[in-house]
């Protein structure tokens, strides 16, 4: 006997089938595209003048489609293109530049780097536009060494065209080119060399060339009218001294004019806030304008001094995740950074996002996508800074501050971030503090062999974590605290170290000097493995840094080949005792 489903039963079965089908599609749709495009090929310079290079390349292929191409000049992102051509302007005559391209697909995947093309701009006396291969009899033959191969930087062939040499120098992975050598500038016209093929005549010379060109002397070059060509090379300084100036320190009388700028090369002004519209704004409207005026006055008497506006910090990082979330929000944030910087006379921007993905204050916006979005945000700021730099004929700095923890390393793309920043400040302090149950060191340089009742960590381990993640040592500036932590009612055992206590707070070095170092009740101890001092009087334990520990930290910076030292923060050593020690050791 057949049984038929009733109307209600049929609708139930139909609904179940629909849900199964929709769920099936959702499963398949949820799989993200992780396949990167192929690398752009045959990057070449189609046109070269004294201030301009026109690039062209063969298109990349991708399973979901290529959205755009990122253009890098001397390992630095300078722009993007929706097509397979790009023109860069504002270059300096008779100067060698290296270009490579990366493709980006609709899912945000980035290709490996293309071949590198090395281009030497023309001299002013030969400033006419020269398509590659066209007649140009103003060239003279010179050679320069790039990497391990010799490349002609200005060598006219028999037809008088621009000569193109090739050499082996394949860019590695998603990072910049493996070769960091610089080709020398030519003496005449333009040169391009693509670095991918070891069999294509590297190091050849033209037997028809001698010391001169055989041509009539060139006319006196006409000086260009308008702004100077942009100086956009990334900061490559070593042994930097970076000092954070906390805006609120002016309330207690430590105004910016009291900073010893003979010993500080970069001043990071902390902090600017982020508005609900994702634009940066004054953090302390009542004192910021006066402080900015004093900073700019310092630069007039010390032209080598650079100032950066630091954005966010512990208290004001709540909106970073939203600001970095979309292309539109990133554009808004980056534009506001440049506008703020120019309006108030800063030389760059320092991003203090505490922290992407996790950590920071309760209530901060955070999401897993922060890891990739932080990189995209920094890339966007770099693009905007470079565009402004091209117009102003100068380079604007971009830096960020990051935590000395494995979680920060895991929640960021340090190897990619290094492409967009001049350097980064690693906050190698607050390793232990008032949040712990036991007394310990604020900034131990090395991990010791002591048996302790809680976790161990050190500056050495934190720096190695960043380096192992692919962040270059020369771009890593190591933090040194000008403060410590005071612990009350610590158990009187082991000279107060690793003991329980009843309360703790940070304390400036100036306070330590004024009230504790000269107090005969306190004894100074020094940990020979961790390379840090502490004070103890039987109940009060103070962890801090002094001249001896700073000397050890500076030696560590030099041994590791790091980019310098960063200070948090300058007002905590108003008399300059630690600053003098730091500067005397690092320079």
* Catalytic residue ranges: 354
Contacts of 226 (CB under 8 A, 6+ apart): none
**Using only C-alpha atoms, what is the Rg of the chain?**
29
Please report the DSSP string for 197-233 in residue order. Answer: -TTS-TT---TT--SS-SSPPPPPPPPPPSSPPP--P
Q: Which two tokens stand for residue 555?
A: 């030696």
Please report the DSSP string for 154-194 in residue order. Answer: E---TTSPPPEEE---PPPTTSS-S----PPPPSSS-EEEE
What CA–CA distances, in Å, run from 288 to 94, 269, 270, 291, 332?
43, 9, 10, 5, 22
CA dihedral 12, 17, 23, 27 (to 10 degrees): 160
Is residue 243 within 8 Å of 308, Cβ to Cβ? no
DSSP summary character for residue 363: T
89 phi-psi bin (left φ>0, alpha ψ -120 to 50, beta other): beta
Is residue 157 within 8 Å of 211, Cβ to Cβ? no
Please report the DSSP string for 490-531 in residue order. Answer: --SSGGGTT---SEEEEEEHHHHIIIIIT-TT-EEEEETTTT
Range 250-264 burial, b when 16+ CB lie within 10 A, else e: beeebbbeebebebb
Terminal CA-CA length for the chain: 99
Range 561-579 burial, b when 16+ CB lie within 10 A, else e: ebbbbbbbbbbbbbebbbb
- Whole-angstrom Cα distance, residue 446 to residue 456? 10
- Which residues partner with 54 through β-bridges? 47, 87
Max Cα distance, the chain (Å): 110
If we measure between CA atoms, which residue out of 438, 439, 444, 404 comes closest to residue 527? 444
């Amino acid at each position: 006997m057949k049984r038929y489903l009733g109307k209600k039963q049929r609708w139930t079965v139909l609904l179940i089938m629909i849900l199964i089908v929709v769920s099936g599609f959702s499963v398949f749709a949820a799989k993200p595209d992780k396949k990167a495009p192929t690398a752009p090929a045959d990057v070449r310079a189609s046109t070269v003048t004294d201030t301009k290079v026109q690039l062209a390349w063969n298109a990349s292929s991708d399973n979901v489609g290529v959205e755009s191409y990122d253009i890098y000049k001397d390992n630095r992102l300078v722009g993007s293109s929706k097509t397979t051509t790009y023109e860069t302007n504002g270059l300096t005559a008779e100067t060698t530049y290296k270009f490579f391209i990366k493709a980006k697909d609709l899912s945000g995947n980035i290709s490996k780097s293309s071949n590198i093309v090395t281009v030497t701009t023309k001299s002013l006396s030969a400033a006419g536009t020269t398509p590659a291969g066209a007649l140009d009899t103003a060239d003279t033959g010179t050679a320069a060494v790039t990497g391990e191969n010799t490349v002609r930087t200005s060598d006219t062939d028999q037809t008088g065209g621009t000569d193109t040499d090739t050499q082996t120098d394949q860019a590695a992975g998603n990072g910049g080119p493996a070769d960091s050598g610089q080709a020398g500038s030519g003496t005449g016209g333009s040169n391009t060399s693509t670095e991918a093929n070891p069999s294509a005549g590297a190091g050849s010379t033209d037997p028809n060339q001698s010391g001169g060109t055989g041509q009539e002397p060139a006319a006196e070059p006409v000086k260009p009218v308008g702004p100077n060509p942009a100086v956009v090379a990334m900061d490559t300084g070593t042994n930097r001294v970076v000092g954070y100036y906390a805006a609120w320190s002016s309330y207690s009388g430590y105004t910016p004019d009291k900073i010893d700028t003979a010993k500080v090369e970069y001043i990071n002004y902390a902090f600017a806030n982020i508005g609900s519209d994702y634009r940066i704004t004054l953090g302390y409207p009542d004192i910021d304008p006066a402080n900015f005026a004093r900073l700019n006055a310092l630069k007039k008497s010390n032209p080598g001094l650079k100032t950066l506006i630091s954005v966010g910090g512990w208290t004001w990082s709540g909106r970073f995740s939203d600001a970095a979330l979309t292309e539109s929000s990133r554009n808004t944030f980056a534009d506001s950074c440049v506008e703020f910087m120019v309006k108030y006379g800063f030389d760059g921007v320092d991003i203090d996002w505490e922290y992407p993905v996790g950590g920071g204050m309760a209530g901060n916006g955070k999401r897993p996508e922060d890891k990739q979005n932080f990189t995209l945000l920094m890339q966007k700021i770099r693009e905007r800074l470079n565009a402004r730099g091209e117009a102003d004929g100068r380079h604007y700095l971009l830096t960020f501050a990051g935590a000395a923890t494995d979680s920060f390393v895991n929640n960021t793309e340090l190897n990619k971030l290094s492409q967009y920043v001049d350097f980064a400040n690693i906050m190698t302090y607050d390793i232990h503090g008032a949040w712990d149950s036991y007394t310990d060191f604020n900034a131990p340089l090395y991990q010791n062999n002591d048996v302790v009742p809680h976790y161990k960590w050190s500056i050495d381990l934190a720096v190695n974590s960043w380096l192992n993640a692919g962040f270059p040592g020369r771009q890593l500036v190591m933090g040194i605290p000008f403060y410590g932590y005071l612990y009350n009612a610590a158990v009187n055992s082991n000279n107060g170290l690793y003991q329980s206590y009843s309360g703790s707070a940070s304390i400036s070095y100036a306070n330590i000097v004024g009230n504790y170092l000269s107090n005969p009740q306190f004894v100074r101890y020094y940990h020979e493995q961790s390379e840090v001092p502490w004070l103890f009087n039987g109940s009060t334990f103070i962890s801090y840094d002094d001249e001896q520990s700073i000397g050890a930290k500076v030696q560590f910076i030099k041994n590791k080949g790091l980019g310098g030292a960063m200070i948090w923060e300058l007002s905590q050593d108003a008399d300059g005792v630690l600053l003098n020690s730091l500067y005397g050791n690092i320079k």
